[in-house]
């Protein structure tokens, strides 16, 4: 991502870090380490400064930490769905990842309030509501898809047996085993009664 596009990301992150005096202190020990954030086609590389803020990374800087966030997950995160963080893929420096995780967990961004300063109250409210609605739709769509696939596998094309069918199958196997044992005993008795040994 060019510095022209990365600059707003840097500005937003530094704005949030300045609003929480403890956060830069948490990141400062990782000065000059670079974090690569990727979501779909959008990639931004940030280097932590000695003050615990961030700047656009130099092209030659090595990535100490890579965080990949699927685009729909990014929308859920923007809508305040912290559970969506489970979908992020993180690779690299464990200590840096933990520090970033703590900062992200504890930073409280009033997105609507910040946006209202730039675009006004009504557009900011509509934009944040749209993001929340989209994230809710995406979560509901994923849950419905999972439910429908599970139902299809169990009912239509039984790749997975339902508990009821599995219980019936086990009971049928038990009955068959008992029937076979009874039949074997009868054949044994019949053979003995005719003076033959099986």
Domain's final residue, options 84, 109, 134:
109
Does a structural domain hold residue 8? yes
Domain's final residue, options 109, 128, 147:
109
Task: Tell whether 103 and 168 lie within a shared domain.
Answer: no
Residue 21 has what pLDDT? Answer: 87
Task: Tell whether 9 and 103 lie within a shared domain.
Answer: yes
Task: Tell whether 101 and 7 lie within a shared domain.
Answer: yes
Task: Tell whether 105 and 165 lie within a shared domain.
Answer: no
Residue 64 has what pLDDT? Answer: 96
pLDDT of 15-65, one tens digit each?
A: 888 888 899 999 999 999 999 988 878 889 999 999 999 999 998 999 999
Residue 3 has what pLDDT? Answer: 47
CB 34 within 8 A of CB 63: yes
Buried b / exposed e over 177-193, threshold 16 CB at 10 Å, is eeeeeeeeeeeeeeeee
Say which CATH number the domain at 24 has: 3.30.1050.10
Distance of CA 196 to the CA centre of its chain: 70
What gap in Å lies between CA 114 and CA 142, rounded to an integer? 30
pLDDT of 28-39, one tens digit each?
A: 999 999 999 888
Residue 45 has what pLDDT? Answer: 93
What gap in Å lies between CA 57 and CA 110, rounded to an integer? 26
Does a structural domain hold residue 41? yes
Residue 183 has what pLDDT? Answer: 78
What confidence category does residue 132 fall into, taking pLDDT thresholds of 50, 70 and 90?
low
What gap in Å lies between CA 73 and CA 165, rounded to an integer? 37
Give the range of the structural domain holding residue 187, as residue numbers without chain letter: 161-198
Task: Tell whether 185 and 98 lie within a shared domain.
Answer: no
Does a structural domain hold residue 168? yes
Number of domains in the chain: 2
Task: Tell whether 70 and 166 lie within a shared domain.
Answer: no
What are the phi and psi torsion angles at 100 (to 5°)?
A: -60, -40
Residue 17 has what pLDDT? Answer: 87
């Amino acid at each position: 991502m060019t510095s022209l596009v990365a600059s707003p990301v840097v500005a937003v992150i530094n704005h949030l870090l300045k609003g929480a005096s403890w956060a830069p202190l948490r990141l400062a020990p990782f000065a000059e380490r670079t974090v690569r954030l990727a979501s779909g086609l959008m990639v931004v590389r940030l280097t932590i400064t000695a003050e615990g803020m961030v700047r656009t990374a130099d092209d030659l800087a090595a990535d100490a930490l890579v965080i990949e966030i699927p685009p729909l997950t990014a929308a859920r995160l923007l809508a305040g769905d912290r559970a969506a963080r489970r979908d992020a893929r993180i690779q690299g420096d464990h200590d840096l990842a933990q520090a970033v995780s703590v900062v992200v967990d504890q930073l409280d961004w009033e997105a609507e309030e910040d946006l209202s300063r730039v675009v006004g109250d009504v557009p900011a409210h509509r934009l944040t509501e749209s993001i929340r609605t989209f994230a809710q739709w995406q979560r509901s769509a994923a849950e419905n898809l999972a439910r429908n696939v599970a139902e299809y596998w169990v009912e239509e094309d039984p790749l997975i047996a339902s508990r009821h069918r599995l219980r019936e199958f086990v009971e049928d196997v038990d009955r068959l085993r008992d029937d076979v044992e009874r039949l074997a005993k009868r054949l044994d008795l019949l053979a003995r009664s005719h003076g033959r040994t099986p």
